[in-house]
Chains A and B, each alone.
Chain A
């Protein structure tokens, strides 16, 4: 009787499979990395990585994941990160847990991070659990219990240590990129400025140069004939430069016909040539007030010049 009872037990134990054992192939930990389990210091981050494979019918219940925050008085769960991918009818979960231990042991002390139970649900609401085992590690003190020198009357606190020099980030690649980008930006700006006619030497319109010249000259005493005439001459030179030949009063019509953009300025241009002739050839008294008109004419000609260059 006793023997038959033992045989029955043996057979039943062979054919009976518990629920967990039945699910172990459907849900399994493919890989786990929990790092070094010794010599950890106070404040150190502990990284646990798990790769869990399940049949695609199982879905991890995110509510079963541990909640970030203080787990106990010395252990914080810093972060929980879960990523999942589907692969050949299986779901791969990548779980990363980051703990931080604030335990400050005076000697080497073994501590345990508690086990975690993850729940998986099937489409038929069948619940299956997977336990991530607890993890025991040893923490080490960061200082001696009694450093040498303690108790001396030299006034030095031997528990204090100098701060660690901050780690210097390598800035060289960033600096190089910054220099290249700044140079490109500068080049673009220069190109834009040149196109806009703001560079004195690369001016597209000679009238802008004439305007600057006249403005500079107009600071002198314009009642003096030579200063007054220098202003007029600057505009004459700009007109000649734009025309590619000397433009006299009698050729103004030809100039306006070949440069139609300036035709709207016919009247002020005629006035300018009249003033210029009066000053240069008829010894007329300078009219300093006209120089303002002259500057305005330069501005209008430069504006019209842009139009003519674009067209």
Chain B
């Protein structure tokens, strides 16, 4: 699955956030978008995920213009987990994950064995099978995040786009989610996530897209993008980059 944006212009009301941005998502890899607050990371992800219609340029999915494709067809190929989805009152984990099957169903269609299998697999992959009957409201933040990811997994798409999937989670749960995303990548999926934590991006991503002021500043492998010069430029903060003693990945440390 090839996903790319060409000359994208996008924003909200009068405010233009992305102004002529082009970017390509490498297939089958774990791509992380980084950048300071309000630089357009979420806007880019929402535009790539068909949640936001670009004013100019186009998003191409395997060469076809994304926003011209039927939304249901896109949802069968591209799963999107937005930043703050809502939990309906009283919904159980299994019910919520089952909603990920919607792109594969029609309103007259009943629940099929295929749907059942996809939900079971998603629950297992996200490691929440034992929570299936629990109300989502009762779960911890980390468990909830895995429920949302499971819903996106039940959609059975080749690509998965996630907007800050680790926000509000403690460190252990953040790592848990990132490892889950790595496993999905290992299973052949294309994964794109917006992350705030640079060291996690450097450690877990195959491909990093660094943004600033609605533009892509640099793209490439973590060790190519997460450098002292680039991080200082992008975040406006003097920092050092050392090599992580455990993984060899770049490690960003703000200078005192």
Q: Do A and B bind each other?
A: no
B residues sitting closer than 8 Å to A (CB atoms) are none
A residues sitting closer than 8 Å to B (CB atoms) are none
